[in-house]
Structure 1
């Protein structure tokens, strides 16, 4: 999972060091480090170290981003065991050592997959819903959450859990980047009649929320869902991508049932279900308890993402 990197953002005064970020060179981590500017930060670019003592010296807050991430075609013989080794055992090992070292707050970036994969139309997930993880990644994140909550009770270390949905922004990869490339190239897409609703979170909005949770006193020992606060259908998402890229949206109004039937024949039913299904989150708790408002609109978030994707 990488090696420790005791480099920070203009890290010149060791005595002033107070924040540790794991996974600081990842998609979210790099943006968080950039947002923190001149504040001294220690980075640790691994998730599963046995010994964290020297890294935790002087640290008061940990932001834990490092993880074994969700992949579409996992080749592990036992995916759940592989996810647990890093996302559960690794996370709790770090958290226990952090508590022993006197760390005051542990911010854990989990996943909306703890809630589940899909929502009923108009019924968004909330933090009060019973968890329903459906895959090994979601299960591992949920088990890590359970362990962290118990550790908070046992040690007094504050724990903050953040569950984002799909995160997009400059440098985004996987299916979101593939879709954005297709839009930028002007490819006709059979997504013009998809009337679902999905919550996304722009990278800058997620980073802003993490920064809020680092210091806000009301965030202690809370779980939060986070999003842009404006849900989109897949059709609307493609149109937004096209606007952001300054190209026309070439959408074919293929019925969802036809998309699903074709995908089933090709063994791609799960991928189409993600494109056509609903997954909404309610961020009322973040708004009311923390006074947090997403600073970046969906259109601006897509514009920033498009600027980071080169046409090829």
Structure 2
């Protein structure tokens, strides 16, 4: 008999996709923990309502009979945080809330706790010729990355003190059907035929399709080699911003009107406009080494970048 899974964050971009896949396969019974039942994307799935997610949340009743927790709920990274103390706000949810759930899960006899972390634990970018690995010393820069690192550290300590196995997954930028933020903005620009000054960007960035990330998460539910490991995940195909936009335009069946403006010009202009972080994402490199993920789990991304972009573009077209 397969273990019952408690899934948090089921109304989010990643969590909703996990729920759809679990429901479709019907291999693992799942219960979702949410604050708003109306936003759950799969009807008739068992739900438990939680009013808050912090160090005071009571989980005992919801963990009875649960074998695995997939924890994708989080206070997510935001470009312009309005909190007076952003780090404290991130810690309340991403550290205190996570460790509170994990401690109660261990006490309830949960076998495995899968934590969706972030590549921001590694840092914000890689130099030419280098890649992040799961064994690198963490070097988070912003409050979100720091909070994810602290949650990871607390979970590893809990794994040493209990019998519950911890699996940590650090995704790079996730794209797919329903993607938001900068990725959606770029799709809209391309769809409208707006000329973009990104025709001469020679960086290299790892991305991960939503379907590939979800596939890895489900692999980690019962793979024996995943216990107490940290995994980086990507599509296994690194792209420059110029190549990504060209592929995205092709998926949308639109011409890519990319003007070859030098990256240093874009960086300088972004700095003057207070958009340095955005220029880093568009012009800087961030590559990850997923050889550990491949070798230890025998896993490979099921979707190519072109296939994943085609799926993303189709969803975009259907919801315009």
> Same-fold call, TM > 0.5?
yes
Say whether the 8 Å CA contact 1:202–1:298 is kept in structure 2: yes
- How far did residue 26 of structure 1 move? 1.0
- How far did residue 17 of structure 1 move? 6.4
The alignment partner of 2:126 has SS state of coil
2:307 aligned residue: 300
Say if 2:164 is the partner of 1:157. yes
Residue-by-residue CA offset, 1:89-113 (whole Å, 9 max, x unaligned)? 0000000000000000000000000
- How far did residue 121 of structure 1 move? 1.3
- Cα distance in 2 between the residues matched to 1:63 and 1:94: 11
1:23 aligned residue: 9
Q: 1:16 to 1:156 in 2, by over 3 A?
A: closer
- How far did residue 170 of structure 1 move? 0.4
Equivalent in 81, 104, 121 of residue 97 of structure 1: 104
The alignment partner of 2:66 has SS state of coil
Under a length normalisation based on structure 1, what TM-score does the superposition of the two structures give?
0.93
- Cα distance in 2 between the residues matched to 1:120 and 1:261: 19
Residue-by-residue CA offset, 1:243-270 (whole Å, 9 max, x unaligned)? 1101111000000111112212222122
Residue-by-residue CA offset, 1:134-184 (whole Å, 9 max, x unaligned)? 000000000000000000000120000000010000000011111111111
- Cα distance in 2 between the residues matched to 1:44 and 1:62: 10
Say whether the 8 Å CA contact 1:45–1:66 is kept in structure 2: no
Q: Relative to structure 2, which stretch is displaced further, 267-276 or 106-115? A: 267-276
- How far did residue 308 of structure 1 move? 1.8
Gaps of 5+ in 2: 36-52
TM alignment of 1:1-312, pairs within 5 A = 18-36=4-22, 37=24, 38=26, 39-45=28-34, 47-48=53-54, 50-310=57-317
- Cα distance in 2 between the residues matched to 1:53 and 1:79: 29
Q: 1:217 to 1:16 in 2, by over 3 A?
A: closer
Task: Report runs of 4+ in structure 1 exceeding 2 Å deviation.
Answer: 46-49
Q: 1:122 to 1:148 in 2, by over 3 A?
A: same
- Cα distance in 1 between the residues matched to 2:118 and 2:88: 18
- Cα distance in 2 between the residues matched to 1:156 and 1:232: 41
Q: Relative to structure 2, which stretch is displaced further, 257-266 or 223-232? A: 257-266
Say whether the 8 Å CA contact 1:92–1:148 is kept in structure 2: yes
The alignment partner of 1:161 has SS state of strand
Under a length normalisation based on structure 2, what TM-score does the superposition of the two structures give?
0.91
Gaps of 5+ in 1: 1-14
Say whether the 8 Å CA contact 1:17–1:42 is kept in structure 2: no
Residue-by-residue CA offset, 1:30-75 (whole Å, 9 max, x unaligned)? 1111111234210002543610011101100000000000000000
Say whether the 8 Å CA contact 2:121–2:140 is kept in structure 1: yes
- Cα distance in 2 between the residues matched to 1:264 and 1:140: 26
- Cα distance in 2 between the residues matched to 1:136 and 1:26: 20
- Cα distance in 2 between the residues matched to 1:290 and 1:297: 19
The alignment partner of 1:60 has SS state of strand
The alignment partner of 1:213 has SS state of helix
Aligned residues: 298
- How far did residue 222 of structure 1 move? 0.1
